[in-house]
Amino acid sequence: MTADLVLRNVTLPTGRRADIVVADGIVRHVGAPARAGETIDCTGYTCLPGAVDMHVHMRGGAQREKEDWRTGTTSAVAGGVTVVVDQPNTVPPLTTPELLRARVREAREEAVCGFAVNGGVVPGADLEGMWDAGAMAFGETFAAPSSYGEGLDAETLRGMFDRIHALGGVATVHAEEVSGRAPATLADHDRARSGEGEARAVQKVAGLAPAGLRLHFCHLSTAASVRAARGTVEVTPHHLFLSREAFDPDETGARVNPPLRDEETRRELWSCWERIDVVASDHAPHTLHEKRMPFETAPSGIPGVETMVPLLMAAVRRGRITLASVIEKTSWRPAAILGIPRAGFEPGDRADYALYPDEITRIDAAHLHAKCDWSPFEGLDAVFPEEVIVGGTRAYVHGDLRETHGAWYPGKGYLPSQKK
């Protein structure tokens, strides 16, 4: 058998060591060696399936100064993420098939890893048209206001859920309660968007959803919210690894929605590790200029796509969580929720991989690839991949990005005949 690429001496999740033979971006054989155009010896590396980050804001368009598809997906690949799912609260928001198609065209021109695009859920949005045009899922749907997104009332949410359910789509939800004046500190922000309010919002949203709706809760930040959820549950690295006490009270770089919680709440969130379906970054970069505004007016959101898996891999190395759980929550479960082919170690699997060394390093924003050029995770333990394969092609090799083009993954409703 001849192949495009062979990964030699891969230690599989079962503990067996084998060669993975890749052709045309797909795993063709696992076991005996074969001839190939390129060979990678994986001895000394932990080989993970490429991560699927199902919650990113790639900016671009009118917000290119914050991030664009090229820089954002380069950052993803450098962190072992080989598929990203872009959220629709862009400028302008994605509410029509024409806008969704334009977003896909922009990504196709610049993205260096796989990508999908969600459709926006706001009054007047053409959900059915976007589903036909290839929207992967719907939302994040705002049950509370956030950056570039207005909260929807209960009746509107119920109607939107009914339409999404009729299509067979996934409804992804940003659930919070918001109260009080503009916050001046991280503690104010935590109180204004409290963990208790988040849990109540999760229960309320679950009660509005029709039976059988494929419901997915984004970035839940407390154990109570995770336990209250129906459907699938997502958490972020910043709610797992950061607490507001780790920052100065008015540190805008730590301002995010939902807010960072206190240390006790952060630790308790880890107790729900087995219930958590997905870890996603909610990569939402803003420029340093914006983040240096007074706390009351500074935007919420932080970059995180490049550091997501490296933070989790450091936790694996420390013995806090298992490697199998990281594979499940960053790659296999999100792929299953979205209905895209999974990356893995069996014939027919998508040939996306990241090779991680044993050494733990520290996060240094100067070495990251996001355009915004800062990180709230500065100084934390991480294990970054040394090689990343996208679609059977070596995309990232010891710090150097090779020229690759990411595939578009349309949703299940895509009608190619409707393409314009």
- pLDDT at position 34: 84
Q: Among candidates 281, 268, 269, 301, which has minimal Cα distance to 85?
A: 281
> pLDDT (tens digit, 9 = 90+) per residue, 64-105?
999 999 999 999 999 999 999 999 999 999 999 999 999 999
> pLDDT (tens digit, 9 = 90+) per residue, 357-404?
999 999 999 999 999 999 999 999 999 999 999 999 999 999 999 988
Distance CA(124)–CA(355), nearest Å, equals 45
| H or E segment and range at residue 253 | none
CATH 3.90.960.10 matches 50-338: no
DSSP code, position 328: I
pTM, full prediction: 0.96
Distance CA(60)–CA(72), nearest Å, equals 9
Residue 419 has pLDDT above 60, yes or no: no
Distance CA(101)–CA(146), nearest Å, equals 25
Place of tokens 């699938």: 232
- Report the CATH architecture of 2-47+350-401: Roll (2.30)
| H or E segment and range at residue 55 | strand 51-56
> pLDDT (tens digit, 9 = 90+) per residue, 166-222?
999 999 999 999 998 899 999 999 999 999 999 999 999 999 999 999 999 999 999
Distance CA(395)–CA(352), nearest Å, equals 10
CA–centroid distance for 271 within its chain: 21
Q: Which two tokens stand for residue 124?
A: 């007047």
Residue 282 is a catalytic residue: yes
Domain boundary assignment for the chain:
2-47+350-401, 50-338
Length reported for the chain: 420
> pLDDT (tens digit, 9 = 90+) per residue, 128-153?
999 999 999 999 998 877 766 678 99
Known binding residues for Zn(2+)? 55, 57, 140, 174, 219, 282
Q: What confidence category does residue 32 fall into, taking pLDDT thresholds of 50, 70 and 90?
A: confident
Catalytic annotation, pick one of 68, 282, 349, 352 = 282
